[in-house]
Amino acid sequence: MKPAASALRLQLAHWILGLWLASSVVGALLPSAPTLLVGFSSDALALGAVLLLALLVGVPLGALAGSGPRWLDVTLAFTTDWIAVVPVVLLLAFLRPAGVTPTGGLVLLGLLRSLEVGWVVRSALLRAAVVDPTWAARSLGYMPLSVFLRQRLPAAAGPALAHLALTPLWTFLLDSVGTAAGLGAASSSRSLGAFVTGPLSSVPGAFAAVLAVVSLTWALHRLGRHYGLRLARK
Amino acid sequence: MTLARAGKLTFRRVFPRLLRLLLTLLAVLIAGFFGAANGAKRLGSGWAYRALPVFVNPSPSDVRERALRAMRTAAGDDTPDARAARAELLRLGGAALPHVLPRLDSLEPRARGRVAVALGPLALRMRVASVEEVATPERALLFFGRFWQDRSIEFRPTTVRRAVERLAERSLTLRRDDVIHADTYALEALIGALGKVRSQADVARVARLHPVLMHITGRGEALPREPSVEQAASAARRWQELWLQEGADYSVLEGPRRIAALATETQFGKWLAQAFLWKLGRTRDGSSVSATVLAAVPSSAIHVLLLQLLAIAVAAATTLVDRSAGLPERARARVAATSASLVALHPILLTLALALELRRGHGGVLSLCAEGLRYGDVNLTMGALLGLTLLSELLVTLPSRLAAAGHAEQGLHEDDE
């Protein structure tokens, strides 16, 4: 029963992701697409950029900070502290100079997310370091890099993927609060977050947008656990 | 070597933490100011220092540079630029004379006459000439030549400071005239002599200096016959604000002062000076920033604390999903782990707190900061940001570090067992 339910949930996650992507393509291609569909395509683009940067920058940064030179760990800790004291919405408004391009805005958003993901990876690596059989593995002839790749990185993959899966909710929250505060949406003024708090919003539309974002977060979490962890263990 | 117990506050732990707090504060202030200064570019922001560079001023201009530039332009034909330069010479006043008068001879005769005529109204303001003496270029040139021969010795900082000190002690016509003769050259000494206004003696001093300042600058409003301490303090503050805004226009930047001006003659330098002098300054609507921020901090603190508790409660509740044994231990471990990772969660908690403040309409520091950014109110943005940084450090980073230390200690104990 349990494996069947798990397979069903995995299939549902696939469907949600597929549906989201299809809606995004329709929203991007149709010239007079409804605002909700345009929001889907805008969020998909932002999500892709942020996740890509978080994976390419955040994970290696966290891995290096958790097992590499001390100065990198101290720098990451300081930067995370720095970011932690200011809400991301305000931080984006501070750092985003007037007239920044949409691509520049997305890169900034991605870099901020990378720092958060980097911190989670670093913390997970340090937790894994306490329990990993490094000495035993080394005594068996494993190289430190091999120990790192086979033991610690898979152990850190779980928390990192769980954190990455929250990215749709993260961008949605930033877009909606940024728009409500009058500071502008974090990713795009056509995003779902901006739509929900904007003047064109309606109750069914807002409900559909929130439902879509929550279900995408769940789907990413599910898929991350299934594929991401499997990949990390390999 | 005996190690301090994990979680215990020792100097070795607190000192680096405080150092990091200072660095964090500096980084937040710099990033925040960059954003605030960008926001203040819009019209109607009320930020008086928009024209200055934000953080570094590689070429701060002083009275010498301004006066010589204005003199060269004023020497030209009667163009709009020349007229503006003549007005600028008048604004710079007596402070410009030590730089302009010795260089008059370097101009051709007609240009020299034009500059001398342009300086005529200044001589009248300084009460050193009659209208006839500066009525024509020839007479004005003759007058200023003699004036500088006779009185250049009076344009020395020590001489002017002594004249101002005498005026601050007792207001006599002669003493007043001594200061008026120096015009804006005495501005720095005059504003410095205003000092802090706390007693009736201070009020009397301000009442003696205020009319002279009004005469020299052509600004300000007369004080009542018997001003109160508040009225005198307010007048003194307005003059000090004027000096902060335009001080460099009336003083020479040389040596260490010129080096310091790289940082002080910037928007950030001016804001810092304001923050130190007047407790973070005033908002666009004239209310005190420090009072506004202090009133808003408790509201934000409650929002953030509630959200933190909610996050920890959700973390504890997730242990109920797992039906394995040892629920209290698992719940405790989950709560400890969540508390330790509050730093990573905090930016989102703060964003949610901002959403709560916007929704409820209660002005916390977060919504104040957003409001300041929206309207380009630099003082409000920076004051709210300062409050927010200290609040975050107190509510999140310090407790989460302690929780992390406690979590580590728990892990060590478990290992020992």
Which residue type sits at B413? H
Looking at chain B, how many residues does it have?
417
- Shortest CA distance from A160: residue in chain B: B344
Taking a C-beta distance cutoff of 8 angstroms, is the pair B289, B378 a contact?
Answer: no
CA distance B61 to chain A (A): 27
Average pLDDT over residues A46-53: 91
Instruction: For residue B373, list chain A residues with Cβ-Cβ distance below 8 A.
Output: 90, 93-94, 183
Beta carbons of B373 and A85 less than 8 Å apart: no
Could you read off the pLDDT of A158-206 as tens digits, one per residue?
778 888 888 899 899 989 998 888 888 888 888 888 888 877 778 888 8
Residue B2 confidence (pLDDT): 45
**Per-domain boundaries in chain A:** 2-233
What percent of chain A has pLDDT above 70?
85
What is the number of other CB atoms lying within 10 angstroms of the CB of residue A204? 9
Taking a C-beta distance cutoff of 8 angstroms, is the pair B232, B206 a contact?
Answer: yes
Interface ipTM: 0.79
pLDDT confidence tier of residue A120, bands split at 50, 70 and 90: confident
CA distance B196 to chain A (A): 36
Instruction: For residue A116, list chain B residues with Cβ-Cβ distance below 8 A.
Output: 344, 347
Taking a C-beta distance cutoff of 8 angstroms, is the pair A50, A167 a contact?
Answer: yes
Residue B324 confidence (pLDDT): 67
Could you read off the pLDDT of B238-278 as tens digits, one per residue?
999 999 999 989 999 988 999 999 999 999 999 999 898 88
Q: Which residues of chain B have pLDDT under 50?
A: 1-3, 415-417
Give the Cα-Cα-Cα angle A104, A106, A108 (nearest 5 degrees): 70
Residue B332 confidence (pLDDT): 78
Residue B417 confidence (pLDDT): 45
Separation in Å, CA B290 to CA B132, B363, B384, B389, B399? 54, 14, 9, 14, 26
Beta carbons of B34 and A95 less than 8 Å apart: yes
Is residue A70 less than 8 Å (CB to CB) from chain B?
A: no
CA distance A79 to chain B (A): 8
Superfamily of domain A2-233: MetI-like (1.10.3720.10)
Instruction: For residue B38, list chain A residues with Cβ-Cβ distance below 8 A.
Output: 97-98
Rounded to the nearest 5°, which phi and psi values hold at B288?
A: -75, 130
CA distance B248 to chain A (A): 29
Nearest to A81 among B36, B374, B397 (CB): B397
Instruction: For residue A170, list chain B residues with Cβ-Cβ distance below 8 A.
Output: 348
| Local structure of B282: helix, strand or coil | strand
| Average pLDDT over chain A, rounded to an integer | 82
Taking a C-beta distance cutoff of 8 angstroms, is the pair A78, B23 a contact?
Answer: yes
- Please report the number of interchain residue pairs, chain A to chain B, with beta-carbon separation below 8 angstroms: 115
Nearest to B23 among A78, A95, A173 (CB): A78
Give the Cα-Cα-Cα angle B76, B82, B83 (nearest 5 degrees): 140
Residue B97 confidence (pLDDT): 94
Handedness of CA B271, B275, B277, B281 (dihedral sign): positive
CA distance A178 to chain B (A): 9
Nearest to B35 among A82, A95, A120 (CB): A95
Residue B243 confidence (pLDDT): 93
Beta carbons of A91 and B388 less than 8 Å apart: no
Beta carbons of B343 and A84 less than 8 Å apart: yes
Closest C-alpha among B48, B51, B26, B27 to residue B379: B48
CA distance B245 to chain A (A): 25
Could you read off the pLDDT of B236-248 as tens digits, one per residue?
999 999 999 999 8
Average pLDDT over residues A87-97: 80
Rounded Cα distance between B334 and B149, Å, is: 85
B-contacting residues of A 77-106, CB under 8 Å? 78, 80-91, 93-98
Beta carbons of B24 and A78 less than 8 Å apart: yes
